[in-house]
């Protein structure tokens, strides 16, 4: 397989994982390779605004899972009955079943007051951290691991739980670990919540198309 084919294959196989974690330990060298891939992400002004908090402590994970369950209920209560019935069938996290959590944080102060390329677009810092997450996700897939992004939480709760300093934002709790398999179709599609848009609808030429 050419390196291009290998990359496209990983992109195609990457899935958001909730139910397929087996909880086996991940060898330290594999974890370091995956975090190393995240750490090689591009970043605005080379600010490298990310940090990775690896969470293995079962008690911390249980506490976080309870918080996520509460936030899941908050979202469920906002749904009309038919959407709620669909949502009720969808698992939104594998916090305790995964091998570990990796909380990716964002420090907007990293790089000092003169971050090259961020003067007009403050969010460019955040984009950089999200690219590190995508690298981490693809590397995990290439290593045969699964990863699931959890965003059903309040930032202040997670900051407090892990002792993250004020001003540093927890951007994602990533459930990371060994899996039985990766599904070929996204969970949300399999459960009838939402499906992928055709690529043609997403591509515009020269000017924004309103008919897409
Ligand atoms: C920013 C972000 C937040 C997400 N939060 C959650 C989440 O809280 N729970 C969950 O089950 N999936 C979450 N996902 C995963 C998406 O549901 C998933 O990526 C999407 O349905 C497409 O499926 P796929 O990643 O398997 O292709 C999140 C994804 C992103 C990018």
Read off the CATH number of the domain in which 51 is found. 3.40.109.10
Ligand 1 binding pocket includes 149 (Cβ within 6 Å): yes
The upper half-sphere exposure of residue 189, i.e. CA atoms within 13 Å in the direction of its Cβ, equals 9
DSSP-assigned letter for residue 113 = S
Tens of pLDDT, residues 71-111: 999 999 999 999 999 999 999 999 999 999 999 999 999 99
Beta bridge partners of 105: 51, 170
Distance separating alpha carbons of residues 48 and 44, to the nearest angstrom? 8
Q: Which ligand 1 atom is the nearest neighbour of the CA of 91?
A: 11
Which pLDDT score is estimated for 212? 56
Q: Which domain holds residue 183?
A: 21-193
Say whether pLDDT at 203 is over 70. yes
Q: Is residue 208 part of a domain?
A: no
Which of these, 114, 87, 98, lies nearest to 21 by C-alpha position? 98
Q: Is residue 82 part of a domain?
A: yes
Tokens matching residue 129: 């951290």
Total tally of structural domains belonging to the chain? 1
Backbone angles phi, psi at 196, to 5 degrees: -70, 140
Which pLDDT score is estimated for 73? 98
Q: Which ligand 1 atom is the nearest neighbour of the CA of 196?
A: 22
Tell me the mean pLDDT in the region 152-178. Answer: 98
Q: Is residue 64 part of a domain?
A: yes
Q: Is residue 110 part of a domain?
A: yes
Ligand 1 binding pocket includes 130 (Cβ within 6 Å): no
Say whether pLDDT at 211 is over 80. no
Ligand 1 binding pocket includes 195 (Cβ within 6 Å): no
Residue to mutate (ligand 1; options 89, 151, 189; most atoms within 8 A of CB): 151
Q: Which ligand 1 atom is the nearest neighbour of the CA of 18?
A: 11
Contact 79, 142 (CB under 8 A): no
Say whether pLDDT at 171 is over 70. yes
pTM of the model: 0.97
Q: How far is CA 4 from CA 61, 145, 163, 176, in A?
A: 37, 20, 41, 25
Say whether pLDDT at 6 is over 70. yes
Q: Is residue 56 part of a domain?
A: yes
Q: Is residue 131 part of a domain?
A: yes
Tens of pLDDT, residues 24-51: 999 999 999 999 999 999 999 999 999 9
Q: Is residue 184 part of a domain?
A: yes
Ligand 1 binding pocket includes 151 (Cβ within 6 Å): yes
How many other C-beta atoms can be found within 10 angstroms of the C-beta atom of residue 66? 10
């Amino acid at each position: 397989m050419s390196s291009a084919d290998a990359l496209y294959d990983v992109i195609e196989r990457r899935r958001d994982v909730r139910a397929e974690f087996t909880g086996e330990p991940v060898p330290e060298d594999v974890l370091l390779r995956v975090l190393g891939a995240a750490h090689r992400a591009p970043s605005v002004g080379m600010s490298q605004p990310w940090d990775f908090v690896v969470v293995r402590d079962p008690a911390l994970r249980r506490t976080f899972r309870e918080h996520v369950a509460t936030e899941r209920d908050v979202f469920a209560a906002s749904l009309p009955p038919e959407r709620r019935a669909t949502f009720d069938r969808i698992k939104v996290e594998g916090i305790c079943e995964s091998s570990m959590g990796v909380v990716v944080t964002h420090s907007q102060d990293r790089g000092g007051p003169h971050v090259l390329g961020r003067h007009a677009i403050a969010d460019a810092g955040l984009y950089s951290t999200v690219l590190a997450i995508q690298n981490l996700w693809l590397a995990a897939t290439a290593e045969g691991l699964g990863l699931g992004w959890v965003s059903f939480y309040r930032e202040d709760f997670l900051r407090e739980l892990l002792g993250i300093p004020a001003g540093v934002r927890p951007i994602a709790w990533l459930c990371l670990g060994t899996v039985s398999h990766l599904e070929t179709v996204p969970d949300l599609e399999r459960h009838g919540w939402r499906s992928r848009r055709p690529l043609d609808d997403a591509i515009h030429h020269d000017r924004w198309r309103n008919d897409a």
